[in-house]
Chain A
Amino acid sequence: MTLTGRTRRYALALIFACTAARAQDVILVVNKSVSISAINSAEVRDLFTGVRSRFSDGSRAVPVILKGGPAHEVFLRNYVGDNPDEFRVRWRKAVFTGQGSMLKELNSESALQDYIAATPGAIGYVSRVTAGDSVKVLTVRKGSR
């Protein structure tokens, strides 16, 4: 099968778009005390929306987030399905009805990574892992629990 010039351009554009979309993701990281090495995307959502407070191995999870920025927006869009305002409202509802406490927020990815490295059970996201092996990278499986 031969591709015409136009079709080839479309194919290349499609490949580029898919690569860019994949690149627009974040890396999930946890404290090294966490025994699991893979997690479902549904579990991630449940942990960051307060439905779950433990990892699948039963250990306590401490979700931490960035105060804002592209990585925060990408994480919320890809894993929670909220925009930052919706996510804030979700947690304010828990706070002001006495049903939960705000997640720990950090100003920068390096601060977030440092916090995760120092806090047992902590889980968060970064656009790229820095500072060597201070945290553990989680593999994310698509789908339900």
Chain B
Amino acid sequence: MPRRTALLLVVCCAARLVAQDLENIQIHGFATQGFLYSSHNNYLTMKSSSGSLQWTEGAISVADQVTDKLRVGIQLHMRQMGDLGGPNVVVDWASGDFKFNDKLGFRAGKIKAPLGLFNESQDVDSLFLWTLLPQSMYPVDNMDFNLSEMGGEIYGALPLGKRGGHLQYVGHIGDNSLDANGGYVEQLAEFGLTFPTPPSGKTYGADLQWVTPWRELTVGASALNDALDGTGPQGTVRLAATFTMAYYARWDRGRVHLAGEYWRTPLNILLTVGPNAMPYPVDQRAWYPMASYSVMKRLQIGGYYSHYVNKAGDTSLPANYSKDWVISGRYDFNDYFYGKLEGHFLHGTGLGYYTSTNPDGLKPNSNLLAARIGFSF
């Protein structure tokens, strides 16, 4: 707790420098505090059924435009959510970015991985109306796994003529590992598996986005291939290389914003605990439609429906699905401070629940109130 408070203080004090632009060096940051209250079950390892404030995040980034074409930067991030994350500050991204021209650039180091509409930015709360993004695709307890990787990427924007809009592309490759303090490692611990070093593997993928000539409409697709291997004293975990495919579209016109995605993630996980090998097939299908409206200058409201189902299991069991109806509101007090309030009507227990915080089992349905205040500069 003292470390968390100290980090928030550091971020707020740094803000007094108000994103100083020292020649080409830029300093920016954010800090947020969240609250969850659920009618049943404890959500996201927080004791949410009693109301929990155990959700704090903060980050600070420093970037320097070294030359016209070269930019370097680093972002440090801290997250505490129930039993996940912790007071440790981790490198969110740290990269060198060389842009030959608008059609071709390279980025290398620890880089954010594009997948769908929000993967790269899902840990930056100030960007969204939503307190929780659709958990069927952006599970906040497991965000760290696909969020960034050690590697490189090639990117650019290709104009498609006067009436074609343009294509934005990214291709990336690198090494990925589970977050030692993240949700997947917590779930593996519930199977009796612990790891001295988090399971890791190769990853590669691409994202192609068409910004149509009708500027309001953007459509795109992403592919991400992951593999994992981990060995601990009690056994092993192995994820055979597999592709996640994501298809998405967004439409923004004036005060109205619409978006939707469909993802499919077939996973073949093999857990070995002692002499017992346990295949754990998963076929995740997820989709959502979302809509939001800017009521006035600083007030936004919206809603979405997030749908997740594991087709490899018995889809009538609550553990194999999660259906979440969400209404949300956000008010920006000024350019820096904001507050959010969100209601969730959750059906199914397929996402976000842990045995460690629900030792007496789970009710199939639960309602949830989520709130967040934040500061960004």
Contacts and interface: CB of A to CB of B under 8 A. Distances in A.
A77 B115 CA distance: 29
B127 A93 contact: yes
A51 interface: yes
Given A92-B124, A144-B162, A145-B162, A98 B73 contact: yes
B102 A52 contact: yes
A96 B377 CA distance: 11
B215 A98 contact: no
Contacts of B213: 144
Interface stretch (A10-18, A21-29, A80-88, A126-134): A80-88
Interface in A46-73: 46, 51-54, 60
A5 B30 CA distance: 60
Interface stretch (B40-48, B63-71, B268-276): B63-71
B372 interface: no
A101 B102 contact: no
Which of A83, A95, A98, A102 has the largest number of chain B CB atoms within 10 A? Answer: A98
Nearest to A143: B162
Majority secondary structure of chain B interface residues (helix, strand, loop or mixed): strand
B303 to A, nearest CB: 19
Interface string B340-377: 00000000000000000000000000000000000010
Nearest to A98: B93
Contact of B71 (A52, A101, A104): A101
Nearest to B74: A98
Interface residues of B, number: 47
17 contacts: A53-B99, A54-B102, A81-B215, A85-B297, A85-B332, A89-B126, A95-B63, A96-B28, A96-B30, A96-B75, A97-B112, A98-B75, A98-B107, A98-B111, A101-B71, A104-B21, A145-B159
Interface of B: 19, 21, 24, 26, 28, 30, 59, 61, 63, 65, 68, 71, 73, 75, 93-95, 97, 99, 101-102, 107, 111-112, 120-121, 124, 126-127, 157, 159, 161-163, 166, 168, 211, 213, 215-216, 252, 294, 297-298, 332, 335, 376
Cβ-closest 5 pairs across A and B: A98-B93, A96-B124, A144-B162, A97-B120, A97-B112
Given A96-B75, A98-B61, 12 more contacts: A51-B157, A51-B166, A54-B102, A60-B68, A85-B294, A96-B28, A96-B59, A96-B124, A99-B97, A99-B120, A101-B65, A144-B163
